[in-house]
Amino acid sequence: MKNNVLSIGLSILLSTSCFAQQEDITSSLYETYDKYKEESIGKRRIKHLDLQPLIEAIKQDVDFTVKQVGTSIEGRSLSLISTGSGQTDVFLWSQMHGNEPTATQAIFDILNFLRSPDFDAEKQEILNNLTLHFLPMLNPDGAEVFQRRNSLGVDINRDALRLQSPESRALKRVRDSLEADFGFNLHDQSTYYNAERTEKPATISYLAPAYNYEKDINEVRGNAMKVIAFMNNIIQKYAPGQVGKYNDDFEPRAFGDNIQKWGTSTILIESGGYPGDVEKQEIRKLNYVSILSAIYTIAKGNYKEIAIADYDNIPENDRKLFDLKIEGVTYELLGSEYILDLGIHRLEVELEDHKDFWYSSRIIDQGDLSTYYGYENFNARGYTVKQGSIYPKTLNSLNDLESLNSIDMLKSGHIYVRVAKIPEKALNSPSPINVVGKDFELPEFRIGLGMNPSFLLQKDGVNKYAVINGFLINLSQDDLKRSYGEFKNAMIYR
């Protein structure tokens, strides 16, 4: 027993020592991040074309090599960027799914850092011990239209066996040619994931994928677990409690599972949600800091001191978050009153050029949602859901919306306004009032799954709040910006 206690104590001491050694560089990376952030790709909907000037500039740097390692189905180039002279190869690939770009942005921040004159001692440690390889956009065709799958309609991350897609074959070819010691498989996940049994979003989720159905842990997978435990410790400093861990059931078609099996210690990183961070720029920063810090600990080799048990202690991913959760609202149906919780998602709809989006929100769940959470929570006990009405005057054009006081309209119960001439290309209302056509009639009001959440919340017969397209608007605020919160758009019904 004494030996076991001593062993556990020593393990904790070594793990603590490893984390402590990294604290200074991690803090410095976080504090100086803005100096290296690549501002030209500040929105999520980045395209292959956006990356080409950045890659061309890197080609001119003698410390880097850039190779075309394949093309997509539609002919877009796949580039591998390499630097360093060490014996340990670290391979990072991103945007296997075209609508998951957060780590792609972080990769170019990391490349800016590596090309800078700063942190010379730390960079020498990295580049003398490691050779780093970045494949920053594996699915450029999917990125072009901001969709998960490639042009063939294939999920590249389920194509590790058949290798049907040229993008899949390029990934396999690069991994095999490098025989990489470590691999970072970089993704985005739904913003509706939370850390198990908590209200906190899973801002970052990890997985050391299994390489067989038995979920055995060999040295390769164990090293991935140790690096993840190290990264979790870093994220906890900046987003405490906001880390989750994926279920490690073996998926024989997946690249992560197979790359682990092929001998590369594979670390899956998924970027989820962060309050108020629609474009995931804070999460991008966390990727930058944690990945660079992980690379540094790999270079120094002190990740080996971390206990695998630290990986096991990361909470599981769950999926119990809403954009807006309304708790305990009174709902009248067929002459009776009921108490409901409402869970609302603000669903993104792509614009035609796939450079921006608008919201078409939906009620996703209702009833007892006491085990669910919201990015925004509203205690509606004592409030009653009421249908809004159509403003009695018909406006000539959308421009006339500017002449209306939206808050006064909502206070009066008008959440819709008729517009005589709605442009054919108009997709949504810029005002917090839903726009309807001249012949539109309100349907019977009934709360239900899939319904667009637009209604009033009354207390003592007075309209206190409005929910417009899933956005909660406080009707008692004089400051319109504060009233609207994060409002983006209302709906148009022709």
pLDDT tens per residue, range 79-97: 999 999 999 999 999 999 9
Rounded distance between C-alpha atoms, residue 99 and residue 146, angstroms:
5
Residues 292 and 354 both lie in one domain: no
User: Taking Cα atoms as reference points, which of 466, 486, 394, 487 lies closest to residue 436?
Assistant: 394
Residues 95 and 209 both lie in one domain: yes
Residues 175 and 268 both lie in one domain: yes
Rg (CA), the chain: 26
Domain C-terminal end among 254, 289, 318: 318
Would you state the torsion angle of the CA atoms of residues 48, 54, 55, 58, taken in this order, to the nearest 10 degrees? -170
Domain C-terminal end among 318, 347, 367: 318
Domain C-terminal end among 288, 318, 348: 318
Burial pattern 176-212, b for ≥16 Cβ within 10 A else e, equals eebebbbbbbbbbbebbbbbeeeebbbbbbbbbbbbe
Residues 327 and 286 both lie in one domain: no
- The CATH number of whichever domain residue 244 belongs to comes to 3.40.630.10
Total structural domains in the chain? 2
Residues 307 and 403 both lie in one domain: no
Q: Taking 50 as the threshold, does the pLDDT of residue 285 lie above it?
A: yes
pLDDT tens per residue, range 237-282: 999 999 999 999 999 999 999 999 999 999 999 999 999 999 999 9
Residues 224 and 299 both lie in one domain: yes
Rounded distance between C-alpha atoms, residue 123 and residue 83, angstroms:
11
Residues 258 and 305 both lie in one domain: yes
Rounded distance between C-alpha atoms, residue 415 and residue 406, angstroms:
9
Q: Is the dihedral of CA 15, 106, 157, 348 positive or negative?
A: positive
With bands split at pLDDT 50, 70 and 90, how would you rate the model's confidence at 288? very high
Q: Taking 70 as the threshold, does the pLDDT of residue 478 lie above it?
A: no
Per-position DSSP letters for 404-419, written without gaps between them: S-HHHHHHTTEEEEEE
Q: What is the pTM of this model?
A: 0.93
Question: Measured between alpha carbons, how far apart are the two ends of the chain, in Å?
Answer: 75
Q: Is residue 3 exposed (0-12), middle (13-18) or buried (19+ Cβ within 10 Å)?
A: exposed
Residues 284 and 220 both lie in one domain: yes
pLDDT for residue 24: 75
pLDDT for residue 485: 64
Q: Taking 50 as the threshold, does the pLDDT of residue 63 lie above it?
A: yes
- CB-CB contact of 275 with 322 (8 Å): no
Half-sphere exposure of 253 (CA within 13 A, CB side): 9
Residues 172 and 85 both lie in one domain: yes
List CB contacts of 142: < 8 A, sequence separation 6 or more. Answer: 95, 97, 98, 99, 148, 149, 150, 151
pLDDT for residue 13: 45
Domain boundaries, position 373: 322-493
User: Taking Cα atoms as reference points, which of 98, 102, 193 lies closest to residue 151?
Assistant: 98
User: Taking Cα atoms as reference points, which of 361, 271, 243, 299 lies closest to residue 123?
Assistant: 299
pLDDT for residue 2: 40
User: Phi/psi at 473 (nearest 5 deg)?
Assistant: -120, 120
Residues 309 and 385 both lie in one domain: no
pLDDT for residue 318: 97
Q: Taking 80 as the threshold, does the pLDDT of residue 359 lie above it?
A: yes
Give me the mean pLDDT over the 456-470 stretch. 97
Q: Taking 80 as the threshold, does the pLDDT of residue 22 lie above it?
A: no
Q: Taking 90 as the threshold, does the pLDDT of residue 104 lie above it?
A: yes
Residues 187 and 115 both lie in one domain: yes
With bands split at pLDDT 50, 70 and 90, how would you rate the model's confidence at 7? very low
Residues 91 and 238 both lie in one domain: yes
